[in-house]
Amino acid sequence: MPVRNHPFTQIGLAPPRPFLSVNMSNPYSGESFMVLGLIDTGADECTFPADYAELFGHNLTKGRKNRIMGVGGEVEAYLHKMVIEMPDVGNVETVLDFIPRLKTPLLGVNSFLQYFELTIDYPKQVFSLIRK
């Protein structure tokens, strides 16, 4: 079943934005946690705060090292394999960029959104995801 007309989420004083709760799991360790990720069409890949790597049983610096461009310029990232689990939509096996100093998990285009038809209605503050 697709995600339809999911309401934006407001965190603190920030304006409401398109956040989605997904279960993330490490296919090697079995560690699994529910994560609130921001749907980000400006992010090429899924990027998560570096602290999350250890929670999922990854050794951050043992991941493949990568340099990526972000809003603040070039940053160092460590890539680790993960599975994004959404019971109503299906699982997405992907590689996440874990980045030091990042605060919010981002669900990006190439490693997540490419598998969906995304519709965002900003005036109504809702979004929909339909698996392709």
- What are the DSSP calls for 37-73, one per residue? EEE-TT-SS-EEETHHHHHTT--GGGSEEEEEEETTE
Query: What is the structure's pLDDT at 1?
Result: 57
Confirm if 99 and 49 have CB atoms less than 8 A apart: yes
Query: What is the structure's pLDDT at 121?
Result: 97
Question: pLDDT (tens digit, 9 = 90+) per residue, 28-43?
Answer: 999 999 999 999 999 9
Task: For strands 47-49 and 126-131, give the pairing.
Answer: unpaired
Classified by CATH at the fold level, domain 3-9+22-131 comes out as Cathepsin D, subunit A; domain 1 (2.40.70)
Average pLDDT of the chain is: 92
Question: pLDDT (tens digit, 9 = 90+) per residue, 59-112?
Answer: 999 999 999 887 778 899 999 999 999 877 778 899 999 999 899 999 999 989
> Model's pTM, two decimal places?
0.91
SS3 content of the chain, % helix, strand, coil (to 5): 10, 55, 40
Instruction: Check whether 13 has a pLDDT greater than 70.
Output: yes
CA-nearest of 28, 21, 44 to 99 is 44
